[in-house]
Structures are given as C-alpha cells and as structure tokens.
Amino acid sequence: MLYTLEFHRENHERPLPALEHYDLTGQVIIITGANAGIGYECARYILAKGATKVIAACRNEKKSQEAIRKLLSETKREEGAVEYWHLELASLASVRAFAKRFLESGLPLNTLISNAAISEIGKVLTTDGLDALVQINHISPMYLAMLLYPALKRTGAVEGGPPSRFIGVTTEGAFFTGFPESADPRPVKTVSERVYDASEEDVSYFTSKILNLIGCLEIARRIPPSVNIKVAVATPGLTDTELGTKDATGEQTRIEPIREVYGTKPRTCAEGARAVLLPMTYPAERVWPEDGGIMPFYAHMQALQLKDFPVKAQDEEIRRKVWEDTIALLQLKRGDVDDCFL
C-alpha cells in the first residue's frame, strides 16, 4: 500500500476513528513542542488519562507557562503534573543540557514524543553552523533520542513492564520529495548547504522530514532486540497548526488560513493528534505485531510498514549514508552516545 496522493486525499476526507482509551497512570512523557498544536493536544490527552508527569520541552518559556496553566485548568490536574523544561533544537548545546538534566533527575521515561518542527523560515543558519530546518527537524531530534536512550532503556527494563517508546512525528510530504541529495556521499550535509529557493519551501521541509523518517528507522534498527524500546512514526495529516506561520525566532509571518494555502480542509489539532497518540497509548502488541517489522508508520491512524515507505527510505545504502552523515555532523565519538548508534 504505497502512500500516494490518491490514498492521501481519499483518507484525509474520511473522519478519523475515535481513540480507544488506556490508563497512563505512573507514566512520564516528554513532548517536544508541547505548548501549541499537536504537541499541546497530546499533552492534554495524556494528562487526562492519568500520566504522572508531562515534560513540555519547548524554547519559549512565557508561551509554555501559559499553555501549562491552560492544560492544568482543562484537565483539572495538580501543579507539577506538567512542567516546562527549556529546549532549543536550534542549539546542540541546549539539547545536551536538556538530556543531562533529565538523566540526572532519575525520572523514568516511558515515552519521548519528538513533535517539534519548523517550516518556511527561509535560509537560516544555527549557532552550530547548520541549516535550521535540517537541524531542528532532523539532526537535533535524533541527537535527543540518542542522549535519552539510557532513560528509555532503564524504564523499559522494569521486569514485566511495557516497552518504553520513541514516537517521531512526521509528514506525508516525506513521500513526495525526490531527495536527489541521496545520491551524494554526505546527503545530510548537502541538504544543509543547499542554496535557498523560495519557490521550493515545501520541498525543503519534505526533505528534512524524509531525513527524519530515515533517522527514526535507523534508531529502530540499531536498538538491540534485547532492549525493551519500541519506535514508531506518525503523521497527523494536514492539520491547522502554527507550522509554517512563523520565522526561526517564533515571530508570526503568515496569517492566511491553512485551507486557503493548501486548498483542502485541514484537521483540527485534536484530530491530528490522534495519529500520534495511537502508537503512544495503545498496547504494544497492537502497535508492533510480531510480523509488523521494526517500525510502523501511522498515517490516518493506519499502520504502514517498510514496504509502503518512500522508496528512498527503504534503500539500505541511502539510510546508511544519512545516518553516518548525521553522526558526522554531530561529531559524535565513542562515549558520547551508546555504541549501538555509532
């Protein structure tokens, strides 16, 4: 069932099924970008289902504290059930500091939801000298997952307990990019150094997301079978979020309704969040059946497998190059992250 425009259009018009509800009591979940959009709706649902703590990993403290007050009011949860922790994905130092803080806290980590992303910001370089779109959407999320791996591993090792989970949020646009840079020896570096073309904003975003999809696949493949961690990716579909409406600093740049931009009715954030919440909350055997491969891709709340993925994400040689280049750009060496990722 290769993902096509016809498949997307047909399924996007159909109402999504309601989520089955499961108790999340005792769980600790990190959500990047939890102060708005899909991330906010995931946090609201998770808190309502009893999670012990949600950590809102975001860059804007004022906006995050406002979101937290609203979340606590809407879910009638106690102070401390959701916390703001600073995370700036445009800074590798910030990613390291966040991971260090979490590992030193001793908290369990049941699920990491890698949700935060940007698009349509033009050509912006981070303080690390990388293209902001590539760093925020791909490199930093992979780095964060690798750095938090010890906490996920420790939490999943509880005898008789469920697996810990890493959920990547992506876009169906990853299916519709040619990704010509995949032919290069260092595809991530080549994408990062690409000359900006305003007419190809969507292409740049989609390319950053196929890199992210490949990265999630490689993380899933590299985690030893003996380690009780599961990986999935999900796309909320075309959803009415803030994505693409702000610049790299968070300032508003686009105000027209998303329907006028894309010509189709978007889902609400609560609807879009269902695709992410399904692999996060459902029993593991439902999400990762024994014959289902190492990483499902949830689109329209339907599980796609590797044979359905973008062709270039199925290519082992392309995946190897993308992963090795990501490691090279991060300048990782033995001891920085678990050996399974090197």
Q: Are 219 and 138 in contact (CB under 8 A)?
A: no
| Residue 116 neighbours by CB under 8 Å, 6+ apart | 32, 33, 39, 57, 58, 87, 89, 136, 141
Active site residues: 205
What does 314-342 look like in DSSP terms, one character per residue?
Answer: H-HHHHHHHHHHHHHHHT--BTTB-GGG-
State the sign of the Cα–Cα–Cα–Cα dihedral 190, 323, 245, 173.
positive
The reported pTM is: 0.93
The residue extents of the domains of the chain are 5-341
Query: How far is the C-alpha of 170 from the C-alpha of 276, rounded, in Å?
Result: 10
Q: Return left, alpha or beta for 288; rule: phi > 0 is left, psi -120 to 50 is alpha, else beta.
A: beta
**pLDDT per position in the chain (342 positions), as tens?**
567 777 777 777 788 899 999 999 999 999 999 999 999 999 999 999 999 999 999 999 999 999 999 999 999 999 999 999 999 999 999 999 999 999 999 999 999 999 999 987 889 999 999 999 999 999 999 999 999 999 999 999 998 899 999 999 998 888 888 899 999 999 999 999 999 888 888 889 999 999 999 999 999 999 999 999 999 999 998 887 665 444 555 554 444 545 544 556 788 899 999 999 999 999 999 999 887 678 999 998 999 888 888 899 999 999 999 999 999 999 999 999 999 999
Render pLDDT for 131-145 as a digit per residue (tens, 0 to 9).
999 999 999 999 999
209, two tokens: 């997301």
List the alpha helices (DSSP H) in the chain. Answer: 5-12, 37-48, 61-75, 92-105, 132-134, 140-156, 187-192, 201-222, 258-262, 269-281, 284-287, 311-314, 316-330
Q: Are 168 and 235 in contact (CB under 8 A)?
A: no
165, two tokens: 């989970």
Query: How far is the C-alpha of 231 from the C-alpha of 220, rounded, in Å?
Result: 6
Query: How far is the C-alpha of 115 from the C-alpha of 122, rounded, in Å?
Result: 21
CATH T-level topology, domain 5-341: Rossmann fold (3.40.50)
Query: How far is the C-alpha of 317 from the C-alpha of 142, rounded, in Å?
Result: 19
Q: Are 234 and 276 in contact (CB under 8 A)?
A: yes
State the sign of the Cα–Cα–Cα–Cα dihedral 331, 206, 273, 83.
positive
Query: How far is the C-alpha of 291 from the C-alpha of 112, rounded, in Å?
Result: 24
Three-state DSSP at 181 gives helix
**Rg of the chain in Å (alpha carbons):** 19
Render pLDDT for 228-286 as a digit per residue (tens, 0 to 9).
999 999 999 888 766 544 455 555 444 454 554 455 678 889 999 999 999 999 999 99
Query: How far is the C-alpha of 171 from the C-alpha of 206, rounded, in Å?
Result: 7
Three-state DSSP at 209 gives helix
| Residue 275 neighbours by CB under 8 Å, 6+ apart | 16, 234, 235, 236, 237, 298, 299, 300, 301
Query: How far is the C-alpha of 218 from the C-alpha of 216, rounded, in Å?
Result: 5
Q: Are 279 and 167 in contact (CB under 8 A)?
A: yes
Query: How far is the C-alpha of 195 from the C-alpha of 204, rounded, in Å?
Result: 10
What does 119-159 look like in DSSP terms, one character per residue?
Answer: ----S-B-TTSSBHHHIIIIIHHHHHHHHHHHHHHHHHTST
